[in-house]
Amino acid sequence: MGLPFCDMTTALNPTITFTAPSSPSTLKFSLHIKNACDFVSSDEVVVDVDRVFILELDVTYEEIFGFGFLNLDYTIGTPESATWANFLILTNPTIQVIPLWTVPLPIIHPPMDLPISFPFTQLGMIGIYTGLFTATGPEDVELVWVDTGL
């Protein structure tokens, strides 16, 4: 079975085949167009699903037997190496930004959970600013506030 005769009607109504196979790390979309006059066009788009930086943070403050603890629960994923920076923001009596750590990270895939807990005193409302940075700039940043009491 062949294509219909090549005239203006068949030239303007091509046969279009669209496929969208996928894998866990990429989505690949292919489009193939052919009309009766043997005009053929193909195009392909590949979307890299793993190119997503993931940085999530949950911050809690709790007192256990009169001692305060700051709990930082991170989820981190990087499709390429990045720098991970964290800062403590104090608001009482004035605003102060204190660097906590800045470390290079390798590729982290799949994303991992990283809970960090340490003794902490009551300082009122504090913020934790965290970010993943590459040579092109910030990829993912988050600012979380928690009341430590005072």
Q: For residues 38 and 29, is the Cβ–Cβ distance under 8 A?
A: no
Domains of the chain: 8-48 (no CATH), 54-147 (2.60.40.10)
pTM comes to: 0.66
Predicted confidence (pLDDT) per residue in 90-145, tens digit:
998 889 999 999 999 999 988 999 999 999 999 999 999 999 999 999 999 999 99
Q: Which whole-number Å values give the CA distances from 110 to 54, 80, 125, 138, 143, in the listed order? A: 10, 12, 33, 20, 23
Predicted confidence (pLDDT) per residue in 32-70, tens digit:
556 556 656 666 666 555 568 899 999 999 998 888 999
Cα–Cα distance, 90 to 127 (Å, whole number): 7
